[in-house]
Each structure stands twice: as structure tokens, then as C-alpha cells.
Amino acid sequence: MVRRVKDEACFVNVGLCLFVLVVATNVVCSMEFDHLDFPHDFIFGASSSAYQVEGAAFEDGRTPSIFDTFAHSGRVSGNGDVTADQYHKYKEDVELMAETGLDAYRFSLSWSRLIPNGRGPVNPKGLEYYNNLIDALVSKGIQPHVTLVHSDVPQILEDEYGGFVSPKIIDDFVAYADVCFREFGDRVLHWTTINEANIFVFGGYDVGNSPPCRCSFPFGVNSNCTTGNSTTEPYLAAHHLLLAHASATRLYREKYHGRQHGFVGFCLYAFDYSPFTNAEVDVIAAQRSFDFFVGWFMEPLIHGHYPLVMRTNAGPRLPVFTQNEAELIKGSFDFIGMNYYTVIQVEDNSISLTKEPRDFIADQASTWKYVNDVNPFEGNPFFNSPWGLQRMVN
């Protein structure tokens, strides 16, 4: 079977999906290994996101998300109006997955397809589509791994109160999660609340190169800043995102886990941060980048507070969890997904701490060097560095 994708499909993103680890990197195929060389419980799969594969952007009651707005803003050359058209061709897609031998399919739900107003009534057409997709996967023995948000908050909530920059998002997100757990949890055991939370808030609220494209001068890329505050909003959005995640996890554990026995996790975008030289300042800078990019979320999830270096460098611009919030967040995950991409070499740039104003990047006080001058943020292919995965996990 050959699956044809229309020219509009510029937003198709597929990676390898493991049970607790998603690796999105260049894959070198080899005849030296096959399925039997892996542990019996190793899960082979594929992953996607709703906006990048579903299409049917204006059909059956779906309303725009911040990803629609971004894609139609002229900042990128394509959009997800049609893309891989999974909305109409999910049966064909699932057949291909089965032929490929996938154990699992990790996909995201479109919040604005399921609940067009962001809160309130559920769209029966959206509900029908996701039930059909999940049933098709289960019928082929493919585990559905579901992500609730992949950079596509309903635009109506962004317009109303600014999305994740407002604490109002927490209750709306939990209500959305409640619908998903209730309607699909009898067949879905693996839930990820937010995909790549760190890159979502960094790209969306500091440099403004991804939805919802908020930033402030002089920090935005390509002079694309129209609204936002790069010095505070990345931290604020991350804070509310963590609280939304933890609140949804608590809901699942209290209301659904007893009968569904599923797992709720969190997903981060990850590099292996390697010192540019053996100098102590670069070694410290590499750890600092890791703390800012990964520890930003892992420290609260494990310890209930942000890394010390973030609290020191960002100061009062970094929100503080109350005691109750810290207790809510600590341990609010059953697994952590790491989308590993490549190796980044890090050089100390402590002089950035003397400048005002500062954004998330300046607070890191580090400069990133790209192996072989391959910069993944400029659209170049990722430098193939599988060894960095083990170092990153360690």
C-alpha cells in the first residue's frame, strides 16, 4: 500500500516512539539488527501531532488553534489545512502502521476539534473521529499513546486571556483532560499532557518563532514581535503549564486510575549538552544549559522547585510555587518522555548576566555551538549523534 501525501503537507513530523522515551533523530538503518535484538518489552512506534497530520482544519466544527494562526501569519511557507489528511484517511494510515509492524502510535488530540470553544460542549464529530481512530488502532494491536496538547491551544482561549500566560488556562486544561480521560481512557493507557513543554514556551514566548509567537524586542527572531514579554512570559507560561499538568494528573489519579489503570506523563525536548572545551567555565555552562532547558521542568516535577541557578539568574522574574503547589507538582508523573535530537556544545557566556533587560537565553549565560555548524533552529538537518542519547539520559 502506498500512502500519498498532498503538497500542502509541510507539517508532518514522525519520530520513533518508545514507552518512556521518544527519539526524534536521523535514523541510520542497518541489516545488522532486527526486532528480536531488542528486549521483549521494547516498544516500536511512530509519533505525530494533530495539526501536522490531521488536516480538515475547517471541517465538522473544528475551530482554529494557535498553530493555525501561526501557520497562516505569513511567517512560514505552509499550513496544516490539509497536510497528511489523517482525519479522512486514518483507516489507511492504521493499515500502513500495522504493515510496518508498529507496536504503538503516539498522536495528539486537537483541543479545538474536540471542544471548539475551548471549554463547554464537546463536539460530537470530533469525539467520533478520535473514537474511530483509537478503535482502529486497538483492532490492529497498536497501542494508542495520546498527547493532550502539541502547540495547539484553542485560539479562542489565547484571545480571551492569553493562553498559558494566564492561570485561567489551568481550569480549562483540566476540564479538557477530564473529557479525554472519560471518553477514551477505557482504551488509552498512556497519556502525555504536554508535548515538548520546554521548546513550546521557549519558542512561543521568548524568541517568538513558534505558536503563539509572543516575544518582545530585541529578543524575537526576524523582528516578528508584536505582543508579549520575552523577559517574563517564558517563565510564566512554564509555571502555569506545570500547574496544569499536575492538576490533570491529580484528576486522573483520583477519578480514573482506579478503573482505567493508565499512566500520565510529561514530554521534554532534549539535547546532550557537552562542554565546548575542557575549561571549568564551559563544563559549568553545559550543566547550566541542561538545568535551564531540562531541569526547568524536571526539578519541579521531582523536588517542587526550580533549579537554584534559575532562581539565582532570573531572580524575581521566575515565579515561585506555593507550598500547596509544590506538593501538587512533586511526583505528578508516571513517566517522562525525552525527545532527543542531537549534541550541542556549550561555551560560557557569563557576561550576558551583566546586561539588562535579559530573556531566558541571556539568563542561561551560555552560548551554544553546533556540531559541524549544523544549527537545528535554522532548518538544517540534525547532526546524527546517537551517542548523545545515552549521555543525556545519564
Q: What is the mean pLDDT of residues 21-31?
A: 43
pLDDT the model gives residue 16 = 32
The gap between the terminal CA atoms of the chain, to the nearest Å, is 41
Q: Give the global pTM.
A: 0.91
Instruction: Please answer whether residues 20 and 48 qualify as being in contact, where contact means their C-beta atoms are separated by less than 8 angstroms.
Output: no
- Residue 112 confidence (pLDDT) above 60: yes
Span 138-171, pLDDT tens digits? 999 999 999 999 999 999 999 999 999 999 999 9
Mean pLDDT of the chain: 91
**pLDDT for res 222:** 64
DSSP string, 203-258: HHHTS-SSTT----TTTSGGG--SS--TTTHHHHHHHHHHHHHHHHHHHHHHHTHH
Rounded average pLDDT over 49-75: 97
The predicted model gives 39-43 an average pLDDT of: 94
What is the rounded CA–CA span in Å between residue 328 and residue 249?
A: 9
CB 371 within 8 Å of CB 343: yes
What distance in Å separates the CA atoms of residue 110 and residue 53, rounded to the nearest whole number? 11
Rounded to an integer, the average pLDDT of 107-126 is 99
Question: Model confidence at 6, in pLDDT bands (50, 70, 90)?
Answer: very low
φ and ψ at residue 149, rounded to 5 degrees: -135, 125
**Helix residue spans in 256-295 (DSSP H):** 257-260, 280-290
pLDDT band with cut points at 50, 70 and 90 for residue 266: very high
pLDDT of residue 71: 95
Q: What is the pLDDT of residue 33?
A: 78
Instruction: Tell me the HSE value of 154 on the side-chain side, using a 13 A CA sphere.
Output: 22
What is residue 382's predicted lDDT score, i.e. its pLDDT?
74
The grid coordinates listed for 123 are: 463536539
d(CA 139, CA 132) in angstroms, rounded, equals 10
pLDDT tens, position by position, 329-341: 999 999 999 999 9
CB 162 within 8 A of CB 105: no
Does residue 328 have a pLDDT over 90?
yes
265: nearest Cα among 21, 14, 23: 21
| 8 Å CB contact between 198 and 188 | no
pLDDT score of 220: 84
How high is the pLDDT of residue 223?
60
3-state secondary structure of 272: strand
Spatial CA neighbour of 295 closest among 198, 360, 371: 198
Instruction: Give the C-alpha separation, 349 to 260, whole Å.
Output: 49
Q: Over range 174-200, report the average pLDDT.
A: 99
Instruction: Please tell me the predicted confidence (pLDDT) of residue 369.
Output: 87
Give 339-367 pLDDT, tens digit per residue. Answer: 999 999 999 999 999 999 999 999 999 99
Kind and range of the H or E run holding 106: strand 104-108
Alpha-carbon distance of 275 to 346, in angstroms, equals 5
Residues 274-326: pLDDT tens digits?
999 999 999 999 999 999 999 999 999 999 999 999 999 999 999 999 999 99
> Which of 54, 32, 242 lies closest to 65, judged by CA?
54
Does pLDDT of 9 surpass 50?
no
Give the mean pLDDT of 235-249.
99
**3-class secondary structure, 346:** strand
Average pLDDT over residues 122-143: 99
In this predicted structure, the answer to whether residue 105 has a pLDDT above a threshold of 70 is yes
Residue 19 clears pLDDT 60, i.e. is over it: no
pLDDT of residue 17: 36
Cis preceding-peptide flag for 218 (omega within 30 of 0):
yes
Q: What confidence tier does 77 reach under pLDDT thresholds 50, 70, 90?
A: confident
Q: Are 347 and 276 in contact (CB under 8 A)?
A: yes
375 confidence band (pLDDT: 50, 70, 90): low
